[in-house]
Amino acid sequence: MNHGVPVVSGTLLAALAVGVLSAGPATAARGGLVVDGTVHHDPVGCLEVSGGARTLKVENHTDEPVTVYYGRGCRGDITATLTSREVRTVVGTSIQVP
């Protein structure tokens, strides 16, 4: 007899628990990202570079690849992707770190 209490199957509850437990918070890349001599420790997300699109010396000393964008907000054309431990001179305005 159902007294107005919703019944949820054990399979559905198990699936929900797996989904909740596997969805962890975003973590920063480990290491440092150096942009024109400025060190960003354990960066995460989109880093804006002041002064608009220009030539940048980027040193990726993190454990993740980073993507350099010509536009602000990590939008527009991708001008470079630097692998972990790569150092390169690139043109850009913002850098995305996963």
Q: What is the CATH number of the domain that holds 78?
A: 2.60.20
Say if 2 falls within a structural domain. Answer: no
Q: What is the mean pLDDT of each run of 10 residues along the chain (98 residues)?
A: 56 45 62 98 96 96 98 98 98 97
In a domain, 12, yes or no: no
Q: What pLDDT is stored for residue 28 in this prediction? A: 80
The answer to whether residue 16 is domain-embedded is: no
DSSP class of residue 1 equals -
pLDDT at 32: 98
Q: Report the domain count for the chain.
A: 1
Per the CB < 8 A criterion, the answer to whether 29 and 46 are in contact is no
Give the Cα separation of 16 and 35 in Å (integer).
Answer: 42
pTM score over 0.75: no
Domain that holds residue 81: 27-97
